[in-house]
Amino acid sequence: MTRPAMTVDPLAADPTRAALHRLRAEVAKAVVGQDAVVTGLIVALVCRGHVLLEGVPGVAKTLLVRTVAAALDLTARRVQFTPDLMPGDVTGSMVFDARTAAFTFREGPVFTNLLLADEINRTPPKTQSALLEVMEERQVTVEGEQRMLPDPFIVAATQNPVEYEGTYPLPEAQLDRFLLKLTVPLPAREEELGVLRAHHGGFDPRDLTAAGVRPVADAADLAAARAAVGQVHVAESLLGYVVDLCRATRATPALELGASPRGATALLGTAKAWAWLTGRDHVVPDDVKAMARPTLRHRLRLRPEAELEGIGVDAVLDTVLATVPTPR
């Protein structure tokens, strides 16, 4: 995102918005810095969307999601994706019950509110594809029977950059099901010093309770936030701006795949959530610009010649944002 943090007072009068700001404060007890990533996770929670976190090993991607889960009064489970992980290990499978001499369904870890899919790109495509129905339909189909997942249900996945050894690129159909792709950068020097000070003072990332992290928001807060975001006003000119941005990606020479209409609807939703979180009841162009990169970057595919020239997707999006006229 183009701005690192929300601009509204955490003690805002709106109790739902205040609860989500408290969530940011709880995460800060265990994670130093990464304000933009935390804000992106909150946007995804408000929009009931899935989020993909990408960064090199050791930048606290897993800790970040675990801390958000600990600060929410929701059920959370973690799946460590490995090369030998099978689809049934994620979604569940039919098992034989000797007592009844019949097969029964044993639920997989996806039957939760917040699923941490850790290192999702270290498992083969067959297992990755097991999440397609889960993420889109929020259900699991086994032996022809559909089983609904709890509400809310959100996947927070972490991955290492695709050039790292032992990774499998996520299929485009699955990437498109993530509302946001957030890049988790290496910390600045002062932030890294803060990490060392915390560990020197006894911080244990495996014991978030000892760090003082406690639930400060729940499913009712998220439902109320979604309802409030649904009431955020969007002018016709802003709708046209979102469409023009997405259409511009389809005509950009550096891209062989631009943003789809699903990407446009996702950008509209995240811009509304950003506007509400920053204390406004209407969307302005800066809201769209703030959410354009995390909402669209994973939906675009560079042409091979652009990759050879070292052009990145974010740079292409910056060019699009600079060239598409901004509504007044």
- Residue 207: how many CB atoms within 10 A of its CB? 11
Indicate if the pLDDT at residue 238 is higher than 90: yes
Residue-averaged pLDDT of the chain: 88
Residue 166's Cβ-count burial label (10 Å; 0-12, 13-18, 19+) is exposed
Whether 10 has a pLDDT exceeding 50, the answer reads no
32-49 pLDDT per residue, tens: 888 889 999 999 999 999
**What mean pLDDT is predicted for residues 207-212?**
87
Residue range 87-146, pLDDT digits in tens: 889 998 888 777 887 888 888 899 999 999 998 888 888 888 888 889 989 999 887 788
Question: Any idea where the domains of the chain sit in the sequence?
Answer: 15-198+219-323
- Where does the chain show beta strands of DSSP type E? 50-54, 72-73, 76-80, 92-97, 102-107, 114-118, 139-142, 145-148, 154-159, 178-183, 217-218, 255-257, 301-302
Question: Three-state secondary structure along 254-299?
Answer: CEEECCCHHHHHHHHHHHHHHHHHCCCCECCHHHHHHHHHHHHHHH
Domain spanning 15-198+219-323, CATH class = alpha beta
For residues 219-245, average pLDDT? 95
Tell me the pTM.
Answer: 0.87
Rounded CA separation 219/126 (Å)? 32
Pairing of strands 76-80, 72-73: unpaired
